[in-house]
Amino acid sequence: MSNFSIILLAVLSGILNGSYAVPIKITRKWEWENIWLLFAISGLLLIPWIFVSIAIPDVVKILADVPSGTSAMTFLFGLGWGIGSVAFGLALHLIGFSLGYTLMMGLIAVIGALVPLLIKNPSALLTQGGLIILFAMLLTIIGIILCGSAGKAREGKNEQQDKQKASNKSKFRKGIILCFISGIFSSMLNFAFEFGAPLKDAAIIQLGTGSNVFYATSVIWAIAMSGGFVAFLVYALWLLIKNKTANNFLKKGTHLYFLWTFLMGITFYSSLMCYGLAASALGDAGTTTGWLIFTAGAIVMANIWGIITSEWAGIAKKEMLKMIIGSTFLIGAVFFVSYGNSLL
């Protein structure tokens, strides 16, 4: 696979990840717990384990061959990611799709890309390639700030048009806090992929040298997603009991909601598989460069969906320009991080 093809695959992973939550806009008769519980069942439990059971002949042997600590750490990092994802899902309902995605994925980009490189190969930061990657991270941060500023202006305009300004401001503050919590915890998904590498290596040995890494990485995702599923399950069940919203599943006119939440799960899991293949193919710095491309692509795509679904309708041209420039910075970061990776 050529370097250009690998980068395109990483970009595709970001596009898919920036799109998977769009159905929450058309499932308004359900509450948070209804939507995200079914998403978790399909995208975090069923699909990952069905895929890995098809792709890997003997998953049990792989789990037995690697140190128990590897599987445990992968699961725990997945659980941490799940906590962050629960916060993310809540934030999307409070402050909107594009703004929530921009703030959360921005934090993930910085934390999730820098930590693995510092742990795995810290000396690489002082090389030409490492400095270029740091510059790409700077571009990413600037892009996040610009997009976030535009999103705040959009939220301010919406507040002016709403009679419940105090309530909206409170929701906005809660949403911002949840985005930061999500950004910190959600970066653990990249840690799960980094520290779960022995699982991938064991799968490659079983499948044979030269086997498709796409299939081998599915073991990591299945274990990590199981940890994430636990976080969603506990919180969603608590809300279903507290809010007595289980009957929402039987509401008239919601039969297609089951399909939409299932598609959310498929799209989300597909984004992870594409990222896993791209990160593995990018070499030693794959979890840094691939992660930046993944997050930048997701932010840009989320903002595009924000425009398509009229989240930015009526916003001043100045703020729209901020979003466009911010997205351009993020796209530029993709090219710089690609070049920096080629020099490592």
Q: What integer pLDDT is reported at residue 49 of this predicted model?
A: 93
Q: What integer pLDDT is reported at residue 57 of this predicted model?
A: 83
Q: What integer pLDDT is reported at residue 233 of this predicted model?
A: 96
Which pLDDT tens digit goes with each residue over 60-112? 888 888 888 899 999 999 999 999 989 888 887 777 766 777 777 766 666 66
For residues 10 and 279, the answer to whether their CB atoms sit within 8 Å is yes
Q: What integer pLDDT is reported at residue 263 of this predicted model?
A: 95
18 or 212, which is more confident: 18
Q: Cα–Cα distance between 199 and 218 in angstroms, integer?
A: 9
Mean pLDDT of 164-184: 71
Q: Cα–Cα distance between 105 and 12 in angstroms, integer?
A: 16
Mean pLDDT of 227-243: 95
> Over 70: is that where the pLDDT of 161 sits?
no
Q: Cα–Cα distance between 267 and 275 in angstroms, integer?
A: 12
Q: What integer pLDDT is reported at residue 216 of this predicted model?
A: 83
Cα 108 to Cα 114, 175, 272: the distances in Å are 10, 16, 14
Q: What integer pLDDT is reported at residue 39 of this predicted model?
A: 94
3-state secondary structure labels for all residues of 213-247: HHHHCHHHHHHHHHHHHHHHHHHHHHHHHHHCCHH
Give the residue from 304, 234, 225 showing the smallest Cα distance to 266. 225
DSSP 8-class letter at 66: S
For residues 155 and 120, the answer to whether their CB atoms sit within 8 Å is no
Total count of domains within the chain: 1
Mean pLDDT of 29-46: 94
Q: Cα–Cα distance between 308 and 328 in angstroms, integer?
A: 18
Tell me the pLDDT band of 195, cut-offs 50, 70 and 90.
confident
- For the chain, the distance separating the N- and C-terminal CA atoms, rounded to the nearest angstrom, is 18
Q: Which domain holds residue 8?
A: 3-343
The amino acid at 41: I
Q: What is the DSSP string of 240-271?
A: HHHHT-GGGGG-TT-HHHHHHHHHHHHHHHHH
Q: What integer pLDDT is reported at residue 249 of this predicted model?
A: 95
Q: Cα–Cα distance between 281 and 8 in angstroms, integer?
A: 12
Tell me the pLDDT band of 316, cut-offs 50, 70 and 90.
confident
> Over 90: is that where the pLDDT of 156 sits?
no
**Whole-model pTM?**
0.77
Q: What integer pLDDT is reported at residue 127 of this predicted model?
A: 83
Cα 15 to Cα 35, 127, 175, 326, 327: the distances in Å are 21, 30, 23, 17, 13
> Over 80: is that where the pLDDT of 117 sits?
no
Q: What integer pLDDT is reported at residue 100 of this predicted model?
A: 74
> Over 60: is that where the pLDDT of 157 sits?
no
Q: What is the mean pLDDT of the chain?
A: 82
Cα 30 to Cα 23, 94, 216, 315: the distances in Å are 11, 15, 36, 29
